[in-house]
Structure 1
Amino acid sequence: MRGATSMRVMNNSVGSRANMSNTTLNPPVISLPHAQQLWNQWEIQCLVLGSFLLQVFLLFFPSIRKRSTSRVLSSLLWIAYLLADYVATYTLGRLTLHLDDPRHQLLLFWTPFLLLHLGGQETLTAFSTEDTLLWKRHLLSLVSQILLAVYIVTKSWKVVSTKQLLAPMVLMFISGTIKYAERTWALVTAGSSMTPGSNTMSDYVLSVETSVLDDSQSYFQRLHTFLLSNDDTDRDTAVTAVVDYEGLVEVAGKGIRICLDFLTDMTPFLMWNKGDIIDRTIRKLRGLRKPELRHQIAYKLAEIQLSLIYDFMYTKYGVLQYQLNLAYSGMERLVTFGATSVALVLFLMADLDGQFAGDVRADVVVSYVLLAGAVALDLSSIFMVISSYWPYLPGRNPSGEDGFPGKSAMFNVTKLVQPLGKGLWSGQMAQYNLIGECINEKNANIFKWALRKVGLVSDIKHVQVSPSLKEFLFTKLLEIADTKLVTDYWTWDSSKFSGHWARWALEATAEGRSIDQSILKLEGGTVAAVVLMWHLITDMCFYVTTDDEEDEEEEGGRSSSLHMDMSRQLSEYVMYLVGKCGVKNGSNGQFEFGKLRRDVRKALSHQRFSGGRLEHSKVILYGYEGHGFFTARASAAAKELLKIKRPAERWEIIATVWVEMLCYLAQNCEAALHIKNLSTGGEFITHVRVLSIILGVPFLREAWQAQVQDDTKYSDFVMF
């Protein structure tokens, strides 16, 4: 008996140690019902804090996309943009399930914060242009969500024991409703700039003639005055010391309306009848004492104007500043910031009085986070507005004057946040080579083939737009703007590429005049056909290089290599615009691309390329030999150009063809491309379009018009 008892004790001891060992090795796992109970208890708190964190992300990161082509950043912003509305709306609906819980009376206080979150942040109103066209949906959401919030408060107010919550709750309701209404109004305003509203497009475009000409006259006068004041310097002065940054911002502000109208295709090319201010401005720009300042001022002016247009199309503060003057927009900021700040103070006083002693302390902490976070976000928004360009634009003062007390001191903040040398866009242009794409497709294995099909692997690369390319393009534009005759445009068919600039370059040299221009096929056919042919010509001229030319390049300096690099980069950029973005590329253009792609694939199946890895140069040389998959006229044109013995001269002509093609596409591509890509780092073609506006290209005028009085009248305008 005693032995049996001892045995049971030993077994119990061993069992206890085994249980302890099992407990140590396998800690208890939270059961699914317990996890569900925890989630039900803390669901609203987690959702509200999650909604707040999304607002923080959407305040500080969207502005980066103006200067970045990163797909990762764009995807994160898109997810956060969608989740912000979904989470706030879902949480508002879930609050209806907690209406009768007196232990969580502070949940009711969080209702107006969800309206505040639905109103979004100053830096992101719309993720894309399509969102601006859905303003009616947002208006319906505004009405429904406000009514739901009012229903939640009125239905559950009876369980609230702390009546001191009423005042801060009303203040947050005011702030949230204003923010939500601002977002809807911003979407309506931005959307109306892309469509004429209730009027027909023709009536709308016809009505803008007088206002655009008046605005343009004021703009060019301001630009001319700016150039005069910034040219009174010594030639050796540094560029950053010469340019009046604040004056440049004011000039950009004067031109934002006409840039927006031209960029969105809401204004036709007009006959200029306001005197010779455009011609005087161009002459002054051309005659600057520091020649390098010409393109630097022009490109920076274009950057600032496009940055302002981005703010108008995609941010809340951009629309507010565009539509309201400095005083009215400032009053709105003070109302929302003041209401939020007072609500925080009132809530703090109630807490110090012990009004929330019976509440869950975690709910009180969440309330402080929401209140303090709302105040901090408002302060950050105000700082962002002050450090932007908007407060310093002409006409911001309600008295009509450009200046206001403390303006220069405030602009020091802007110069600190956005210094003159800071880029306002990505500074990159995409590169696409059709031959290279076909080669990569043939070299790809099954895994890479699958990644290419789903879009995770792309043949599109990006390169920086070089200063030499910017200067070369602007010089060509400046020459055209300075010598432009209205009669040239009357005979210019804008539906076709003419190749005038290349003809002028050929006529300027003896070797160029000996070239048979009919073989080059600079005009005729579709835009896609011309682009494809010159894309092939450029590659052929690059890979077909003799030893004599290589020696001449080494002796001749950097000129030929610079123009060669420009030509290749512009060739692949224009191919990207036409082939991937569909600029001036209808069904006929797609047919041309399809034919060439089919011929390239057929050539790559030749036994000459059956062994080893395919190389771009060998494929190009194979086509240059006349084996059929390159068009005969492309090979013939390349051989004709190679008759020009000086590489620098030849590559300058090729670069001129691509510059004219880019300028042509900039005037003829759809507005959606310009506006859409402002939110993905920007496009170089958009800057080219704005440069043409800066140089007055959309305004037709005759050479003798500089001598005509300002009161000259024209009864009609010319659109081409």
Structure 2
Amino acid sequence: MVASFSPLSDLGCSCSGSMDSESHSLSKVLKDFALLISVEWQVRILVLISMLLQLVLVVLGPLRYNNSSGIFRFVLWGAYISADAVAISTLTTMMHNGGSAIYGIWAPVLLLHLGGPDAINAYSMADNELWLRHAFNMVYQVSVAVYVVYSSALEGHALASAILLLVAGAVKYGERILALWLGTYSQIVKSCLPIYKFMKEGNVVRLSGYVVMGEKQVQKMIEKEGGAPSKEKGDIEPGTEASSLEGKGIVTTNDVKDHTGINEEDYNLCLSHALFKMYKRRFANLRFEEGIREETEELWVNNLGGVKAFRIVEIELKFMYDAIFSKWRTAAFSKWGVVVRLLNTTLMGIAGFLILKEREYREAQRLVTYVVISVALVVEVFQLCRIMISDWARVNLICARIDEIKWCRNCRMKVLEIAVLVLGKVQNVAGGDTYRSTGIQQHCLMETCLNSSPCVWWIAGFLPKDNFVVNGYIKAMHIHKVSLQEELKVFIFDILKKKISDLKGRREIQRIILLGIIRTCTELNDHCDNLEEIILILHVATAICDMKRVSLGEEENKNVRLSRILSRYCAYLLLSRPNLLPLHPDMARLTYLELVERLLKIQKSTMGVLGKHSHPQSIEKVSVEAKTVLAAATNLARRMLDQNEDERWKSLAECWSGLVLYMGCYNKATFHAECLATGGEFLSQVWVLLGHLGCGEQSDSAMKVKAEVPKGVY
């Protein structure tokens, strides 16, 4: 059979193949178009998200110094981590899907975002140590931005604005790297060496007061001791008297104090700044030679007193926070930093003006561009204003006003005088006391165990003792903050003043304090080698005495208030900040949880007799069967309850104050600095105060005096 061929059938096959080909090409075009649309919208969304993250950091960044809320820290941490990731992801998307002209404008704006806000340059000290990684990342991201601008084929005003934004973004990114580098441990130690050499005993060059400005000149003075005089302009000959150093770039606290027109607030600010520069030696474990001098004791003990001393320390810690975690040190305390910031703001303003003239972009692209550029410019102006009213700028202006020969002549002197006055007024209205402590954290172990739901502890019974769920629940639900009263600062300062007057050598203050506590509370004698046990014994005993006072309807006096606040604060430190204390954090946590477990077993066996309103005699009755820490706490409480009420609370208040001073003697510099980024701690203020007075050890070794405390003596 012969096969037949039909022309119509061939034509039908041909038409069918042509239709399939056209359909395939059309679907490919639609797919490519949809992909192009999705990429463009993806970039738009990412750019807007990056802008929103920057706004969150700009708004929340300055607040974290006084905010210890866990939710606040989580939001800020999430924004800080996400900001760089989103900006880098957007730049990468632009590079791989280039060709759009608008990308040439958006890429430099993302460099501004990568530069970060001034108030939160680093989230932790570990970020500063990674400055070299950030520097390599900067080189790569700037290269990507340049490539995107080049591939976008911009012309005219658009190209000029892109170049201006590119320069501004690269400079701001570089400023971030510089601030990270200056906040590293090695640079902090290096920056304190000139002051350390200057303040050492036996130095032939002396200045009256502490150095506020002019460390480089001081370093020249030291380097030229015993060497040939240099011919450089402005150098200072060795052995120069303090009275002849005016106008050569060195400003001391005595210059500020003696200068007419400087009020007490400005003097306190300059004194805090000078002390901050000196206190950086604690990071290098360098000794405070001036701490044992009569002038130091005269300043802190006699001239300042309790409230003013802690006020100076608060401002000093704010300077320390800014130097480690923000850009304000680099941007506000050098003339080049201010000039660079003004130049950057000007470049961004010119670029924004040029972009407004462009009409060739689509409506959506133009809208996103206007929003992003406007927000970036507003943020830059806002941060520039904050720099101008910062404490760093104020100290710089005060020093420039005093150093007349170098900075001020005739009308310039009057301009600086007006600038200092206006800046002080604006700072009080706009900034307020951002360095003032707002409260002190509290945690009561007894309330945690006795007032929590039984279901919670039933579930916790199936988990390990050191499980993060149990620790997280206790920290989240049973820690609160109370206002930090001035009477607490005055009381601790008075105790410190008394201890100093009784001592010949301040290096032994830890041993004397610990011996005094054990002498008062003999039940601590068997536990003197474990600070965590001392804290828990005193804490439980104080809680039992307070419950007794409430049940008898006794009034609350000053010593009761201070004992309760310090007791709960030390318990909080043991639970949440063990790294600040001279003990092993893991052992402290296990000791705490073991005591919680014992209290819960007692509560369960007595069917809730240890309730919130139970009588303290019930607690004593059931607790006597317990061992170790709980037994010692019960015995101590029983003996305290036998004493006179006034004597009892006076002894407890002095014990707790001594314990806080004891813990503040140890140099946990890195951990104290980390705490500044999470709301700060009152113990950090005590640590700084004791350091300036030369009290305690200059290293962070834990409890060296344990072996010196005799057991069974008292």
TM-score (norm 1): 0.74
Q: Is the 8 A contact 2:192 2:281 kept in 1?
A: no
| Alignment-derived partner of residue 236 in structure 1 | none
| Alignment-derived partner of residue 408 in structure 1 | 421
* Closer/same/farther in 2, CA of residues 611 and 175 from structure 1, 3 Å limit: closer
| Alignment-derived partner of residue 218 in structure 1 | 210
| Alignment-derived partner of residue 201 in structure 1 | none
Q: What runs of 5+ residues in structure 1 fail to find an aligned partner?
A: 1-31, 198-203, 231-241, 287-293, 507-516, 555-559, 701-718
Q: Is the 8 A contact 1:571 1:658 kept in 2?
A: yes
Q: Is the 8 A contact 1:171 1:339 kept in 2?
A: yes
| Alignment-derived partner of residue 65 in structure 2 | 66
Amino acid across the alignment from 1:416: V
* Closer/same/farther in 2, CA of residues 226 and 592 from structure 1, 3 Å limit: farther
Query: In the TM superposition, what are the counterparts of 1:48-447 in structure 2 within 5 Å?
Result: 48-100=47-99, 104-157=100-153, 160=154, 162-192=155-185, 209-211=196-198, 213=200, 217-218=209-210, 244-262=264-282, 265-272=283-290, 276-282=294-300, 284-285=302-303, 294-321=305-332, 324-325=333-334, 327-348=335-356, 351=357, 356-393=358-395, 397=400, 404-405=416-417, 406-419=419-432, 422=433, 424-440=435-451, 443-445=454-456
Superposed CA deviations along residues 140-184 of structure 1, whole A, max 9, x for unmatched, are: 211111111222233343xx3x33322222211111011111111
Percent identity reads 22
Helix, strand or coil for the counterpart of 2:514?
Answer: coil
Helix, strand or coil for the counterpart of 2:377?
Answer: helix
Q: What CA distance in whole angstroms lies between the structure 2 residues aligned with 1:470 and 1:417? A: 27
* Closer/same/farther in 2, CA of residues 205 and 619 from structure 1, 3 Å limit: farther
Q: 1:525 aligns with which of 529, 554, 558?
A: 529
Q: What CA distance in whole angstroms lies between the structure 1 residues aligned with 2:178 and 2:646? A: 55
Q: What CA distance in whole angstroms lies between the structure 2 residues aligned with 1:229 and 1:476? A: 34
* Closer/same/farther in 2, CA of residues 110 and 156 from structure 1, 3 Å limit: same
Q: What CA distance in whole angstroms lies between the structure 2 residues aligned with 1:66 and 1:566? A: 25
* Closer/same/farther in 2, CA of residues 179 and 598 from structure 1, 3 Å limit: same
Superposed CA deviations along residues 462-498 of structure 1, whole A, max 9, x for unmatched, are: 2222232222112222333455421x63x5666x961
Give the drift of 1:400: 5.9
Are positions 1:629 and 2:621 aligned together? no
Q: Is the 8 A contact 2:210 2:274 kept in 1?
A: yes
When structure 1 is superposed on structure 2, of 467-476 and 610-619 the one drifting more is: 610-619
Q: What CA distance in whole angstroms lies between the structure 1 residues aligned with 2:517 and 2:624? A: 32
Q: Is the 8 A contact 2:199 2:289 kept in 1?
A: no
Give the drift of 1:690: 2.4
Give the drift of 1:563: 1.0
Helix, strand or coil for the counterpart of 2:440?
Answer: strand
Superposed CA deviations along residues 38-86 of structure 1, whole A, max 9, x for unmatched, are: 5434222222222222222222221111122222222221121122111
* Closer/same/farther in 2, CA of residues 268 and 525 from structure 1, 3 Å limit: same
Helix, strand or coil for the counterpart of 2:441?
Answer: strand
* Closer/same/farther in 2, CA of residues 50 and 196 from structure 1, 3 Å limit: same
* Closer/same/farther in 2, CA of residues 347 and 429 from structure 1, 3 Å limit: same
Give the drift of 1:665: 1.2
Q: What CA distance in whole angstroms lies between the structure 1 residues aligned with 2:340 and 2:538? A: 55
* Closer/same/farther in 2, CA of residues 603 and 611 from structure 1, 3 Å limit: closer
Q: What CA distance in whole angstroms lies between the structure 2 residues aligned with 1:111 and 1:427? A: 42
Q: What runs of 5+ residues in structure 2 fail to find an aligned partner?
A: 1-30, 201-205, 213-250, 699-703, 706-714
Q: What CA distance in whole angstroms lies between the structure 1 residues aligned with 2:352 and 2:116? A: 20
Task: Tell me the C-alpha RMSD between the 2 structures.
Answer: 3.9
Amino acid across the alignment from 1:253: H
Q: What CA distance in whole angstroms lies between the structure 2 residues aligned with 1:273 and 1:536? A: 36
| Alignment-derived partner of residue 671 in structure 2 | 673
Are positions 1:462 and 2:469 aligned together? no
Helix, strand or coil for the counterpart of 1:105?
Answer: coil
Helix, strand or coil for the counterpart of 2:139?
Answer: helix
Q: 1:475 aligns with which of 478, 487, 494?
A: 494
Helix, strand or coil for the counterpart of 1:127?
Answer: coil
Corresponding residue pairs, total: 603
Helix, strand or coil for the counterpart of 2:210?
Answer: helix
Give the drift of 1:518: 3.9
Helix, strand or coil for the counterpart of 1:427?
Answer: coil
| Alignment-derived partner of residue 8 in structure 1 | none
Q: Is the 8 A contact 1:217 1:274 kept in 2?
A: no
Query: In the TM superposition, what are the counterparts of 1:637-716 in structure 2 within 5 Å?
Result: 637-645=636-644, 647-668=645-666, 670-693=668-691, 695=693, 697=695
Superposed CA deviations along residues 646-702 of structure 1, whole A, max 9, x for unmatched, are: x223212111111111121122262233122212221111122223345554799xx
| Alignment-derived partner of residue 576 in structure 1 | 572
Q: What CA distance in whole angstroms lies between the structure 2 residues aligned with 1:633 and 1:359? A: 78
Q: Is the 8 A contact 2:189 2:281 kept in 1?
A: no
Q: Is the 8 A contact 2:103 2:148 kept in 1?
A: no
Helix, strand or coil for the counterpart of 2:120?
Answer: coil
Structure number with the bigger relative contact order (C-alpha 8 A, sep ≥ 6) is 1
| Alignment-derived partner of residue 709 in structure 2 | none
